[in-house]
Amino acid sequence: KAGVTQTPRYLIKTRGQQVTLSCSPISGHRSVSWYQQTPGQGLQFLFEYFSETQRNKGNFPGRFSGRQFSNSRSEMNVSTLELGDSALYLCASSLAINEQFFGPGTRLTVL
């Protein structure tokens, strides 16, 4: 069974631009979560979706948004990028709220 896939793997953007990251969960998994990982803050929860509904959202500004499609694939969008948004963005999927499986991440660099 294929694992969680994330695209693109690497991105370089400049301040003020926006970016969209994509996540395809493990087949059959309906829950998708997003996390931001930085050296200073560690792993921080962004949001979680289940069957296209956001069930929880972390403490991030409104520039960070997400959505989930009917096939469980998810996207997250960051608008008006700031230098501090440079991070590894990780997506995880699970059947419900059980064991979470993570993808390889998207490394975003904001210049």
Partner 1 sequence: KQEVTQIPAALSVPEGENLVLNCSFTDSAIYNLQWFRQDPGKGLTSLLLIQSSQREQTSGRLNASLDKSSGRSTLYIAASQPGDSATYLCAVSNDYKLSFGAGTTVTVRA
Residue 16's DSSP bridge partners are: none
Which residue in 56, 77, 80, 109 binds partner 1 (CB under 8 A)?
A: 56
**Window of 20-28, 30-38, 61-69, 70-78 that interacts with partner 1 by CB under 8 A:** 30-38
Rule CB under 8 A: choose which of 19, 36, 50, 110 binds partner 1: 50
What are the structure tokens assigned to 8, written together?
């693109």
Alpha-carbon span 99 to 66, nearest angstrom: 22
Q: Which of 76, 27, 28 is nearest to 49 (CA)?
A: 76
Give the closest residue to 46 by CA, choosing from 85, 12, 97, 4: 85
Task: Kindly state the smallest distance separating residue 109's Cβ from partner 1, in Å.
Answer: 13
Query: Binding residues for partner 1, per CB under 8 A?
Result: 4, 31, 33, 35, 42-43, 45, 48, 50, 55-56, 58, 88, 90, 92, 97-105, 107
